[in-house]
Structure 1
């Protein structure tokens, strides 16, 4: 079962301008093993209504018909240095050829590696711990390997295997398969069971545990992220993954799409350990050129060549002057040997950002770099053994010199090949930060300009001044960093192994070039973070080649907002025209990869959650001739015979009936025949709206422009309304509100108002109003709130009233409880009646008299003493202090057993023993008989006395005390807040 999204119009497509809101009906359908185009009408489909906004910043989500999206995106045109609004567009189409297809598998994430086969018959997708083979015509269908293969028997003739065990041209039956040869010379392959439609390649559990034990995250890092996936030859693919921070590589058989576990290889130097680190690589003539980080900590950057048997394994030096904390973003092969008169070699270019060592002002500054090596480099004999002898790097500068602005952080690169290698163009995405605003730019570089930089002067580090500067000395011969050419071969240098040490030592110490590859931004956008880039070259009706940029947006570093938009940008000379912006995902997420199928005219987009398929153009959205021409889409043209906007590559008739104006020559030269304003036949905009305004109030009339490049044009009673300066106080158009504002309206402002959206001399009628100005507000106005809004208002009022009532009841209840608590506290005994109370220690140190008994425990169990009252309650006395002999102690006749003693102010406390420094008395047991006999106690209520006794205690008291304590009942406390003893 497959779930797809099908978009249908909720009303006819008679709207001449597709740049206004259009309502669509979205059906989510489930299909039974059929293609995307074959669906069952409304069977098992869920209806969802979407509002799609064309050339406006409208998010792809369910919207109420009355809601309008915000339009806040701005762009800077570097050619003129002014801020202009971008024409942006969100769309999905209903046509089969223009439909958006999606692919995802539950539980699989990070669809970041997209690779087309050599003839663009298969789209290979590398995700987290899984690989897929999809149909490039409809990626919602996975390609299953055929159960039976039939080929001529000659195709299976044994051939010599390469060093990796992958036989070129020899077909090996997959596991469970059987190969038989018939009498007619054809071979028949039978499989016992069809292989799975995908490859599951997870990291083993022990590898994941080891990854976690090293401090990595088991939720985001300790998996096998596919970071490399390319064709190795016509029978196999080569893929590498992080493998839980232990990178591994393997071969995939293209015929049956299977992975050979026995061919597992170490991926060190071919794939990064960390899935978040930058990496790039490409296979050239069965040799892998990779740029990555070579260790677990990510501290050893390397540019490496391996896999091949033709050349030696090569790598870069571990020197900061070569690579200093780089972030690799891309690589490219340029066949400079093709048609070269001097016998030059092919070169591999690497693009990255790194910390700049040559800048004296700021060594922490990150700059963009381009580096290159020669394909035939074999390293040196004594110096630079198995190291690159042709490694050179230069700075890529993307800047606006007149504004003193540079973009130093390179995020992505795309190589657009030309008719030959001399027409190669590099497009790069650069990033900078202006205060708290992220700024992204797109710059382009020609291969000729980059080549001149590498043929220029070198930079060197001067030990005396400890600064970098231009090298002014003599350059060794052969030239360091250059490939072996015909002139070098004539001098006896046929390979880098024969180069002299002077050339090799110079190349090792001077990898950086003095000059820069200069580029000027074609597109500059603030508040947007560009992530990926793809470029297609298309021919217009004027037979000129135009470059179309597809730019994906991602996560802003400051606001942390994943945007997930796609911009279609047309390059016109030194400036860029943004045709539209498309929201790609239902939930916002960054664009991770972009791949173009030039033969099928599709764009494939990879993200964290899914893969998307988009047509390169959707011309059917433009419903009128002005709209089709003003879009300036190089894939589209207006068919004067069919009265429709069509794709040029799909047009079957003569191109003489097609019209296209990418440079707007038709409009600039006054050849446009659109004198009559174009009306937009929409129920929302065609009807006349009645508006009533009170005299003296401000009149606000909304008007939605069809494009960000359009200007408002108003007519009042068939006369043009002059829009003045906002500070002048006259009528003005507010871009933020998208409305006409007439302050202090009077009777002169009554009449019929018509709003036009004017672009390149073409007027699109958008709104009509009939305004009436009255002296006082009428009872019923069109602008009154609808019944649903009033109902919501009363619901809010009732809810707030109920909440206030509950709060009042709670306050009264708490007040009553507080009053009861205060009344109860008034009847309580004073705090001074507690058994434990603070005292003021004497200023003079007390004289302590040692007790006659050996210890408190022995004294407690002494016989012959009475320690409790007649009711069984114990007597409690403080300490063993001696009172004055002249003071007699008599028990208070009013002492009640079990009740607290009177205030300590009535006691004479002297020579206290057992009191701590905190001012509290430790009370000990004593007897009334002891106090009366000694006469040294002080009478004190129910305590019976305070004093020191020297009586002996008999042992029978022990059993008597235990028996009494077990039998007596617990007396209630007189005061619950006092301690019970």
Structure 2
């Protein structure tokens, strides 16, 4: 029973999540997958530079925009790159920092993984002073730190790092160095007790682990320093914020949610208590970050990344957080925004207290000055100039009440962005001033598969401008930093780095494409889409971030539209292609200026991503088709087609008539599959084009004419075979001459009666082979293997008075078993029609034989005379394109 309740609650939670995603039965469908406007694959990136060193797992980035340097920490290596072009190997430098063989052996003896853990993974890299960097690495589960001389780019000193860097390269970690002081947060030691520390200078500080355990299995993702002391009217102190996910001990609506997202705060000037909380934080407080959809009670409780965007006034700063679900098999992400003022309000609110192993809101008296607050003018008036002057009652209250009762809600009360198709891993934010004078936050969000989403926050929603595939192989984005000087963002992943321009305005080739992108960095100057930062006078630039639809004139003109003409036989299906680059645009079609309403087989049209499919074209479907990309309420023409439906020529009406001659463009050779050794003779079919296939009540009439046509060919073939056998018997038995045992081949051409320069005609080729004198052990019936009759289209330059040259002999098919024949005639006649791109033909084959008759010419001449009398005029159709 003890295990049944958690399992049941987890199943209920998953069922609730599925219901939320699909919007049933709790309400309307929820938009859980914001679609990027355009998708750019790795081979379509513009202006990107790549760096791939000998190392892997590029995770730590230190950007120094002034001198134009980018320091990169990887596995057992540190690189120094030029921010102008990280691909320039002439400027880049590398510094190897590998764990020794003995250290790796000891790591293996501790049961660690030799493929991932027993290496030196650089986890910390920051500026120490004007001349040196400071770095720390896992060093095969024995952390080490070192100083690097910047000028020579060499190590100058090493020291112990177990209090500054985690042992495990996969543990959450965050840290920074400011004013010569190093702050870090992680699970440092083997006992996995999380801690927030000030590592140096003295005195070192850390969080308290008793009696309430300030941190519980915390997984840190980010940290930031906000200088709230600047222009402070109360003499406030600067504050450090740490963001993490930890085990939840608060009462929640869903017992299956075992984790919760937090933000913790400490004061930069904190130096610990005098007797109580010695070398411990006296200002530690933490509160819960909520990222949920209230209407659906969907909670995103796992924090993955945080970026702090500082405002012109520090109190106007905002936090952007990437959240995920606790269930790892559910791929879903959310982005929530928080105001620093709301965070301050939560830390100034009521406290929580642990009562009977449960957290409840504290309702008792709060000491004065307020516990957990930084030293201000109010403290100094009471002769409390530092945390060591705080009385013990205040410090004891801080120890027992680290958790705040008030939860921090996101701006707007719900997420800015929901994404179901990707797991977000890292984010960076840049503030840009648009042409309308408003400040826009541009979000650069990395995914677990190596994609970068470039987006802009518009009011209370996020518009994803484009998604960029930065790496061919799927891999998570580890880190990213933005360079204002180079107008680039540097993105790191396990396999390397990519330098990506903050914008690719040249990708937008028209005014409406530039405006629809809603990119604050781009504007239309009348000819091209360019970066607005490159223009001193921006009055003539066009940009519409709020609506994404205004500013362009003659947006529905056909100046950039591709025009095509299509000709199709009645009854055929034809596809009119219309490629739309924007994922947010929807295709709309018009015929002769009237919008096509309804799509499907019943309407005769079907739309898809490729275009418009006209099903069974009829005469009334001829006309001018236009494809429009409709986005933000604007119709933009993309393609234009003029479709001409040609009437179907009348079929043969009597048995003795020959097949109707068709234009050569409506015939396409089809090849039958290779037969197995036990199969019958190879059959190729010459079928009429699909346009000739009638529909409705005329279908039975067409099938009857088809049967008559096949019967005519079969009768002529049988007559040919019988006459050949008779002549062979007379020639062989009566004369018994060696001259009779010669092969002969004759081709009979039947030209079409047209005056076109390039004509089509049929050739009737008969190849027969008879007894060659070796008849021992075989009967006369079985010694004749049959004969081969073929009708194929030909394409030669002829005039009515010319005789076509004889066709080359056809290749002999493999011999087949005698059981497939009856009296030398194939027992199977072709009965299948093949359709291929609207153009096809019927080809009848009978079996081959190995002998021919010397009297063959008399039969072919007679047959030529008969067929010459049955000529039909050819249909004169000159379509621009063949039907589909």
| Short-chain TM bin | 0.5 to 0.7
Partner of 1:828: none
SS at match of 2:409: strand
Measured in 1, the distance between the counterparts of 2:590 and 2:327 equals 41
Cα deviation for residue 277 of structure 1 reads 1.1
Give the one of 532, 540, 551 matched to 1:657.
Answer: 540
Partner of 1:919: none
Partner of 2:856: none
SS at match of 1:402: coil
| 2:594 is equivalent to residue 708 of structure 1 | no
Partner of 1:750: 622
Measured in 1, the distance between the counterparts of 2:295 and 2:661 equals 60
Distance 1:460 1:804, change over 3 A: farther
Partner of 1:248: 144
Give the one of 549, 554, 572 matched to 1:674.
Answer: 554
| 2:86 is equivalent to residue 139 of structure 1 | yes
Measured in 1, the distance between the counterparts of 2:679 and 2:126 equals 68
SS at match of 1:390: coil
| 2:590 is equivalent to residue 590 of structure 1 | no
Partner of 1:619: 505
Contact 1:638 1:660 in 2 (8 A): yes
| 2:213 is equivalent to residue 317 of structure 1 | no
Give the one of 161, 164, 174 matched to 1:267.
Answer: 161
SS at match of 1:221: coil
Measured in 2, the distance between the counterparts of 1:320 and 1:348 equals 22
Contact 1:355 1:364 in 2 (8 A): no
Q: Deviations over 1:42-70 (max 9, x none)?
A: xxxxxxxxxxxxxxxxxxxxxxxxxxxxx
Cα deviation for residue 549 of structure 1 reads 0.6
Give the one of 523, 540, 564 matched to 1:687.
Answer: 564
| 2:402 is equivalent to residue 511 of structure 1 | yes
SS at match of 1:272: coil
Contact 1:690 1:782 in 2 (8 A): no
Measured in 1, the distance between the counterparts of 2:219 and 2:409 equals 20
Distance 1:703 1:93, change over 3 A: closer
Cα deviation for residue 673 of structure 1 reads 2.3
Residues 482-521 of structure 1 mapped to structure 2, 5 A cutoff: 482-519=373-410, 520-521=414-415
Q: How many residues are matched?
A: 642
Partner of 1:428: 321
Cα deviation for residue 661 of structure 1 reads 1.4
| 2:358 is equivalent to residue 467 of structure 1 | yes
Cα deviation for residue 709 of structure 1 reads 1.8
Contact 2:307 2:429 in 1 (8 A): yes
SS at match of 1:140: coil
Partner of 1:11: none
Measured in 2, the distance between the counterparts of 1:474 and 1:636 equals 57
Partner of 2:275: 382
Contact 2:282 2:398 in 1 (8 A): yes
Cα deviation for residue 436 of structure 1 reads 5.8
Partner of 2:124: 228
Residues 266-665 of structure 1 mapped to structure 2, 5 A cutoff: 266-296=160-190, 299-309=192-202, 311-317=203-209, 321-359=213-251, 362=255, 365-432=258-325, 437-463=330-356, 466-519=357-410, 520-554=414-448, 563-640=449-526, 643-651=527-535, 653-664=536-547
Contact 2:22 2:30 in 1 (8 A): no
Cα deviation for residue 386 of structure 1 reads 0.8
Report which stretch shifted further, 774-783 or 250-259: 774-783
Cα deviation for residue 264 of structure 1 reads 1.3
Distance 1:139 1:802, change over 3 A: farther
Measured in 2, the distance between the counterparts of 1:344 and 1:733 equals 67
Distance 1:801 1:295, change over 3 A: farther
SS at match of 1:688: strand
Partner of 1:101: 49
RMSD between aligned residues: 3.3
Measured in 2, the distance between the counterparts of 1:780 and 1:506 equals 98
Cα deviation for residue 645 of structure 1 reads 1.3
Measured in 2, the distance between the counterparts of 1:781 and 1:378 equals 95
Partner of 2:838: none
Contact 1:411 1:428 in 2 (8 A): yes
SS at match of 2:260: strand
Give the one of 575, 578, 594 matched to 1:720.
Answer: 594
Cα deviation for residue 751 of structure 1 reads 3.4
Cα deviation for residue 609 of structure 1 reads 1.0
Distance 1:375 1:782, change over 3 A: farther
Residues 165-244 of structure 1 mapped to structure 2, 5 A cutoff: 197-244=93-140
SS at match of 2:539: helix
Q: Deviations over 1:268-302 (max 9, x none)?
A: 131111111110001121111100112135x2111
Contact 2:195 2:206 in 1 (8 A): no
Cα deviation for residue 413 of structure 1 reads 0.8
Partner of 1:730: 603
Cα deviation for residue 373 of structure 1 reads 0.6
Cα deviation for residue 330 of structure 1 reads 0.2
Contact 1:93 1:99 in 2 (8 A): no
Measured in 2, the distance between the counterparts of 1:773 and 1:395 equals 72
Cα deviation for residue 575 of structure 1 reads 0.9
Measured in 1, the distance between the counterparts of 2:678 and 2:133 equals 68
Measured in 2, the distance between the counterparts of 1:321 and 1:363 equals 22
Partner of 2:37: 87
SS at match of 1:228: strand
SS at match of 1:516: coil
Distance 1:219 1:513, change over 3 A: same
Measured in 2, the distance between the counterparts of 1:673 and 1:232 equals 56
Cα deviation for residue 214 of structure 1 reads 0.8
Distance 1:444 1:675, change over 3 A: closer
| 2:632 is equivalent to residue 764 of structure 1 | no
Residues 792-803 of structure 1 mapped to structure 2, 5 A cutoff: 797-798=673-674, 801=676
Residues 908-947 of structure 1 mapped to structure 2, 5 A cutoff: none
Distance 1:767 1:303, change over 3 A: farther
Measured in 1, the distance between the counterparts of 2:232 and 2:30 equals 39
Contact 1:424 1:446 in 2 (8 A): yes
Partner of 2:758: none
Contact 1:594 1:605 in 2 (8 A): yes
TM-score scaled by structure 1? 0.61
SS at match of 1:290: strand
| 2:66 is equivalent to residue 119 of structure 1 | yes
Cα deviation for residue 306 of structure 1 reads 1.4
Cα deviation for residue 703 of structure 1 reads 2.9
Cα deviation for residue 722 of structure 1 reads 2.8
Point out the structure with max Rg over C-alpha: 1
Cα deviation for residue 221 of structure 1 reads 1.2
SS at match of 2:408: strand
